[in-house]
Structures are given as structure tokens and as C-alpha cells.
Amino acid sequence: MTGPCRVPLRYPGRRPVPDREVLCGILFVLHTGIQWEYLPQELGFGSGMTCWRRLRDWNEAGVWQCLHEVLLAELNAAAWLDWSRAVVDSSHVRVLKGGSTRAPRRSTGAGRARNLITDGHGTPLAVILTGGNRNDVTQLLPLIDAVPPVRGRRGHPRRKPDSLFADRGYDHDINRDQVRDRRIVPAVARRDTRHGTGLGTYRWVIERTFAWLPGFKRLRIRWERRADIHEAFLKLACCLITLRQINSLC
């Protein structure tokens, strides 16, 4: 069209799919476990590849981490986060498609390990992905350091609990000393001791959080070849778990 009635095009090519619709597509994949190429475009999600790229880009930009910090701040403002103790544990997930981050076959723990730290109510504070052949004890301090500064209350942001509970997989005297150096009281079960220490009274909350993760069908088995995509899904699931706890307060 020429002449004075011509309207200049704002977009020289195809209009990008709105972020909200892409997010709905990502959530659809996370909840149902459907493959990207089978994502129903008639629901307005855009193509599966578009959602995959946006998930990758948002993860690289730290969007899920920022979202998690905002949600934690809301819980902290409502005095829901239990900073009197934190709990750490790990769980393994099957890897069917392999990939560069799969554990060596000679390892007894083939697959990937999800290392999680929660507050006393089971709210996810931080999550780390490692190879299935990594010992749990090596991830104790990285998990503590991965807890973000949580705002929401007057004063400095908080990122350290008063005490830390862990099972025998984290038993090491050096780790205990380093935890104490961070002004955190370690409550770690010792190997070669009888059961019945009483730590299970406080540690059950993290087992419940791990039980919530398979509710997102995409996390039941690791299908992604790239670890960052699986990590993005895992962080998004932690955000949704935190959001559910916020909604339960309303």
C-alpha cells in the first residue's frame, strides 16, 4: 500500500509469541510431560521449539532464580519460613537419553542427583544438579552457599538457618567444622550408629518435598539431553511449590 494511508509495520517479520502464552506452554509440558514437538498449538502456546528456546533463554538470564527469590520474600514477609532449621537431602532421577552430564557407566549411581535444601516447613531454598556418581557429602556446603538472600522483613536479608539437619550420607567431621564456621549448628547423623537419633522428626519435610516433584510429570524421568533444560524445569517446579505455600496462607 502506498500513499498517505500507508501504516508502517512495527514488526518486519512474524510477530513473536507473547511471553505469557509461551509460559503457559512451558507449564503445560512440565505438568503433562508431553514432548515439545507434540505441544498443541491450537491452545495458543506457539510451537514447541519456541517454548524450548524461551525456556533456555530465561534460564540463562536467571529468571527462575529471581522468581524464586521473590516468592521466598513473600513467605518470609508472612513469617512462614522456618529459619530455626534447614534440611538437606538428595534423590536420583533416571536418565534415558544420556547427554554430556550423564554419570559414567562404571558408577553405581548412573543418572542425575537432585540436591535440595529446604527450610523447616519443607519450602525449597536452593537446588543443585550433579552427576549420580557424586557423593552427597560433597554437596553439603555448596547447598548452604546456594541459599539466596531472602528479603521481606525489616533488616538485612537472611540466607542462613540456625541449624542444619542431614542424614548419614553427609557425615564428615570437616563438614561439621565448616558448617559451624558459618555460625550454623550441624545436626548430622553419624555412621555406624543405631537408628533412632530423632532426626527423622525434623527431616521428614524434605522427603515430602521430594515426593511433590514427581507430581510434575516432566520431572519423573529426565528426558532432556541438556542439563540446563532439566535444571530450568526443576527450578520452575520449586517456584510452583513455593507459590502453592503462599496460596495456602490466603
Strand spans (E) along 70-111: 86-93
Selected residue with higher pLDDT from 11 and 114: 114
pLDDT at 169: 84
| Model pLDDT for residues 33-56, shown as the tens digit of each residue | 999 999 988 888 888 999 999 999
| Model pLDDT for residues 111-137, shown as the tens digit of each residue | 678 999 999 999 999 999 887 777 888
pLDDT at 5: 53
Q: What mean pLDDT comes out for the span 149-172?
A: 91
pLDDT at 96: 65
Per mean pLDDT, which range of 97-106, 108-117, 149-158, 185-194 is the poorest? Answer: 97-106
| Model pLDDT for residues 190-210, shown as the tens digit of each residue | 876 665 556 777 889 999 999
For residue 100, pLDDT over 50 is answered with no
Distance CA 199, CA 210 (A): 17
Produce one character per residue of 219-228: b if its CB has 16 or more CB atoms within 10 Å, e if not: beebbbeebe
Name, of 40-49, 74-83, 102-111, the range with top average pLDDT: 74-83
Distance CA 26, CA 205 (A): 28
Helices (H), the chain: 19-32, 48-60, 63-77, 140-146, 173-181, 200-212, 227-249
pLDDT at 237: 96
For residue 170, pLDDT over 50 is answered with yes
Which domains does the chain show, CATH number per domain? 82-223 (3.30.420)
pLDDT at 195: 56
Q: What mean pLDDT comes out for the span 69-81?
A: 95
For residue 138, pLDDT over 50 is answered with yes
